[in-house]
A and B are shown apart, each in its own frame.
Chain A
Amino acid sequence: MTNRIRASATGRRWMAVFRTPVGATGAFLILVFLLLALVAPLVWGEDAARIDVDGGPGRHLLGTDSLGRDILARVLVASRLSIGLTLLSTAIGLTIGILLGAAPSVLGRHAGRAVTASINIAVAFPGLLVVLFFAVVFGVGMRGAVLAIGLAMAPSFARLTQTLAASVEGREYVAAARVAGVGRFRLLFRHILPNIAEPLVINATIAAGGALLTFSGLSFLGIGVQAPSYDWGRLLGEGLNRIYIDPAAALAPGVAVVAAGLGFSMFGEVAAKVLSGEQLRPGEGPLTASSIAAGVAAESTDDDDVLVVEGLQVYAPSGQGEWVMPVRDVSFHLKRGETVGLVGESGCGKSLTAMAIARLTEAPVRVRADRLDFLGESLLVSRRAHRKLLGTSLAMVFQDPMASLNPSKRVGRQLAEVSEVHNDLNRRDAMERAVDRLTAVHMPRARQSARQYPHEFSGGMRQRAMIGMGLMGSPRLVIADEPTTALDVTVQQQILSLFEEVRSTQDSAVLLISHDLAVVEQVCDRILVMYAGRIVEELLSADVGTSARHPYTRALLASAPHLETDRDLPLVVIEGSPPDPGLVSRGCAFAERCEFATDRCRHDLPELVPTASDHRVACWHPQTDPTYLSRRTT
């Protein structure tokens, strides 16, 4: 019963191979050539041998060879030897390979290791050299060539068998069989080999394609099939001498070799991909999102505004080929010298918001906004024109400082190139500036550090270097995406102080993105709370502890442990997780997880509306109960 289920599942998986265009073509080619190999000598055998001395044009489609024999017939007849010998040598190679590869698991340790070592050395030499070696040993001719190619294929099959067997040997049923006292040979033939048969067969198919090419090569050189027998390689060799008189004599067998070889390797490779579960290219869904909208003319520009964002939307394709909107209608502004925090759980769209503002998203992600002004310039118009502005005035700091620095470049060079590109400094001046900036971020022994590679730095030093990189220009805005998450707590504090210092010395605005409300509360003037791609509450940092209104903000607060948190009580958590961007409901996205939710929340979307100056909230049931807030300190 179970066997039958398994068999039908296997059948279905193989059917998937035939359904791909490449797999079907490969299978078709293999089938055609196998059929030819069987019937061609019976059907065209006489034509191929008949000598037509006055073979006029038109009587032979591809002409005749030097003796007046029909080339097309000879090419067709040659498929029997070509295909037959290929299959024979592949079978020899596979058999010897499996025996060699399985030997280490059957033999003792020392013998096994010796076999493995010789396999490794043999694999290091190109196949053709090994083939030539064995061709000398076995002598020139058909038999020698079959043996030579078979033996030359054996090492790679052996290595494959070994790798596959090793992966199977670790599995439970093999361990169970071993514990049950099953002998080595029985274990090998009953438990290991059947489970690795499929990949072996697939690889043998691919290898057969290679063997066909090698065999043709040998016969072409005159080392393989000998006259009067002929395969495609031999025909090719004979044809090459007459390529001026009759190109078809050389090209026809060449085409046959390529077609048959491609058939084997195409089918094998598709089978390997499909059966190993690799997903084939999924169809791309229709493009539903409109492309970047032109910026609406700026209404009133406050001179103090460094950044103005209105109606920002980000579209991205989901895995299923549909388009989702992970950032929906985000609006806020940043003033000079202001530090604003953007908080929310992972997957709320915070980073995507930051990347969209900085114009760093890439296709296929699409961004649209009603307004996106940086220092009074609309970033919605053209990227190229703003390259220098963004390069010198907008600094980005990312979460993982190890991954964010190029591992193969010295740190100083990575800083210096900013000034080389945007300020036209020469190499030396740019490096001086880099050292100066590294000093500004309190990099110990800055000059020396500039000559080091990122992997020689600690996490805190790397993050300092990243910040220093942002200071190469004169940043008006620093966007820091989880800059302290990957750092340990003491270093966290140093980096946060550094942001504070940058803000005060450079007078730049800082947008600090974090999932950690405690961090944000500590350093920010204002806080934006984001949930499922929208800003749900905006309030002053100082008011968070006393007048947060949105249930989500309050839940975040309650779940952030504080110094005063009673450690005997379990940590408060928010039940559930943010919705997938594709599954956001019509109403308030937080309704599912909200204890105050009503039907209205589930059907109507609450707008972000001011409740006081410096306080906006998007909720049908804003909470005012102070006892809830006090939970964090009880």
Chain B
Amino acid sequence: MTTDFTKAGAIRLPNRRVHRPGTDFVIRRTTRFIGSLWVLVTASFLMIHLIPGDPVRAALGLDAPPDLVASRRAQLGLDRPLWRQYVDYVTGLAHGDLGTSTLSRVPVSQIVQDRLPATVEIAVLSFVVVMLIAIPVGLLAAVHTRGGRNRGLDLGFAATTAFAAAIPEFLLAVGLVYVFAVELQWFPVAGRQGPDSYVLPVLALSLGSAGALARVVRVEILAVLDQDYVRTARAKRLPARLIYLRHALPNALTGTLTLGGLLIMGLIAGTVLVESVFAWPGLGTTIVQSILQKDYPVVQAVVLVYGTGVLLVNLLVDLLLAILDPRSAIREA
């Protein structure tokens, strides 16, 4: 009898070395990334040329002396044929040459190098804060509102997170400045000196996303808690902590990560406004100033940096998803 079982099972044991759709997926995603990057580079190149009329005249004013206009045009390379400019632009990028600021005459790559860290800092910190808030809050909300219990908590959670998600970052920033910097004077109003100056910008960037993500975590966890394997975990009489953290949470990460990726991209864009509220010396304030001062090479470069950041996050999330949930890669193929 026993041998029969073993044989039957041995035949049915699936072969582990089957076709792996993983590599296909990575290739496809990388191709899409490169394609999007090309579109981004081309768009940022064309930006100057899409400006109706003459960008140099637009920047210098209509009564600028003609020789200044001409020299500025030459400096920007606008006097050469379009295809030539494009080739120069792309080869320049390949060598890390982002052009020169028309205002300060500083190489744009230098400006980016100076300003990028401040922006990355608050973006990464905000992302961490979003996760630290959203996952526990969403998990707790799911556990305590499951099966229609705790209606009051359910409503409170829904209202709070919806409100947090509905207020745009810069308004939240203004509100935070008023309460915590002006009234309570716990944190500085603006600038980047010392750890406490990070608190308000990071909160302004993260609270809205945390609210939105907490809602997703709750919905995902609720769906997982209805699964049979959670019933199995309960039948094993595991402590609640293990049921939620070990059996429910890991299976709810896919949906969380999908929205999480979108939120990081929103975070990256959100830095533009939040930096302006706090006079944060990052790329966000740089692009706003450059747009207002019509310093086009800087604008081009910052758009490029932001766009590349977004595309990279996109790619990373897709690959992470494929690792966490191999079905997502197969489903697409």
Interface residues of A (CB under 8 A from B): 118, 121, 124-129, 132-133, 135-140, 209, 213, 216-217, 220-223, 236, 240, 243-244, 247, 250-251, 254, 257-258, 261-262, 265, 284, 317, 358, 360, 362-364, 387-388, 390-391, 396, 398, 400, 403-409, 414, 417-418, 421-422, 442-445, 449, 456-458, 460-461, 464, 466, 469, 490, 494, 497
Contacts and interface: CB of A to CB of B under 8 A. Distances in A.
Given A251-B174, A258-B166, A404-B231, A362 B47 contact: no
B16 A126 contact: no
Interface stretch (B65-73, B212-220, B232-240): B232-240
B221 to A, nearest CB: 14
Contact of A408 (B10, B236, B251, B266): B251
B273 interface: yes
B310 A222 contact: no
Given A363-B149, A404-B231, A405-B229, A254 B175 contact: yes
Contact of A456 (B16, B234, B287, B311): B16
Contact of B270 (A128, A236, A408): A128
Nearest to B150: A363
A251 B178 CA distance: 8
Given A132-B303, A217-B273, A444-B9, A406 B229 contact: yes
B153 interface: no
Contact of A418 (B6, B175, B236, B251): B236
16 contacts: A125-B307, A126-B268, A129-B303, A133-B44, A137-B47, A140-B291, A223-B292, A240-B174, A396-B232, A405-B229, A406-B232, A407-B251, A409-B250, A442-B5, A456-B16, A497-B1
Most chain B beta-carbon contacts within 10 A, residue among A251, A317, A444: A444
A551 to B, nearest CB: 34
Nearest to A398: B228
A254 B2 contact: no
A19 to B, nearest CB: 18
Given A388-B237, A497-B1, A444 B10 contact: yes
B242 interface: yes
B291 A132 contact: yes
Contacts of A129: 269, 303, 306-307, 310
Interface in B155-188: 166-168, 170-171, 174-175, 177-178, 182
A124 B269 contact: no
Contacts of B147: 362-364
B151 A124 contact: no
A237 to B, nearest CB: 9
Contact of A137 (B10, B50, B311): B50
A408 B310 contact: no
A456 B288 contact: no
Contact of B229 (A124, A140, A407, A458): A407
A501 to B, nearest CB: 9
Contacts of B151: 284
B14 A458 contact: yes
Given A129-B306, A139-B58, A494 B177 contact: no
Interface centre among B228, B237, B242, B296 (most CB of A within 10 A): B237
Contact of B238 (A247, A254, A421): A421
A254 B174 contact: yes
A200 to B, nearest CB: 22
Contacts of B236: 391, 417-418, 421, 469
Interface of B: 1-2, 5-6, 8-10, 12-14, 16, 35-36, 39, 43-44, 47, 50-52, 58, 146-149, 151, 166-168, 170-171, 174-175, 177-178, 182, 189, 227-229, 231-239, 242, 246-247, 250-251, 265-266, 268-270, 272-273, 276-277, 287-288, 291-292, 296, 299, 303, 306-307, 310-311, 314
B182 A217 contact: no
Contacts of A396: 232, 235
B231 A398 contact: yes
Contact of A244 (B36, B182, B306): B182
Given A139-B58, A364-B149, 20 more contacts: A126-B268, A129-B310, A132-B291, A132-B303, A136-B296, A139-B52, A236-B171, A236-B174, A258-B166, A258-B167, A363-B147, A364-B147, A364-B148, A403-B229, A407-B251, A417-B242, A442-B2, A443-B9, A457-B14, A458-B14
Contacts of A265: 166
A284 B147 CA distance: 12
A217 B14 contact: no
A240 B16 CA distance: 63
Residue among B51, B166, B170 with max Cβ neighbours from chain A (10 Å): B170
B247 to A, nearest CB: 5
| For the complex of A and B, 6 pairs with smallest distance between CB atoms | A391-B237, A444-B9, A126-B269, A442-B5, A403-B228, A396-B235
Contacts of B235: 358, 360, 396, 398
A375 to B, nearest CB: 14
B4 to A, nearest CB: 8
A586 B238 CA distance: 41
Of A133, A247, A422, most B-chain CB atoms within 10 Å: A133
A457 B16 CA distance: 11
B232 A466 contact: yes
A243 B182 contact: yes
A396 B237 CA distance: 11
A570 B251 CA distance: 46
Contact of A254 (B171, B288, B299, B307): B171
B12 A124 contact: no
B291 A223 contact: yes
Contact of B166 (A124, A127, A261): A261
Given A244-B182, A254-B174, A445 B13 contact: yes
Nearest to A413: B246
Nearest to A133: B303
Contact of B288 (A221, A240, A490): A221
Contact of B148 (A236, A284, A403): A284
A404 B2 CA distance: 25
Given A132-B272, A137-B50, A417 B238 contact: yes
A220 B276 contact: yes
Nearest to B292: A222
Contacts of B58: 139
A236 B250 CA distance: 43
Contacts of A213: 168, 171
A561 B130 CA distance: 60
Given A124-B36, A403-B229, A469-B236, A221 B174 contact: no
Contacts of B170: 217, 220
A132 B287 CA distance: 9
Nearest to B254: A408
Nearest to B249: A408
B175 A124 contact: no
Given A133-B303, A421-B242, A461-B9, A243 B174 contact: yes
Nearest to A466: B232
Contacts of A251: 174-175, 178
Contacts of B250: 408-409
B148 A406 contact: no
Considering residues B8, B149, B229, which has the most beta carbons from chain A within 10 angstroms of its beta carbon?
Answer: B229
A477 to B, nearest CB: 12
A127 B171 contact: no
Contacts of A363: 146-147, 149
Contacts of A257: 168, 171
A250 to B, nearest CB: 5
Nearest to B169: A217
Given A221-B276, A388-B237, A442-B6, A139 B51 contact: yes
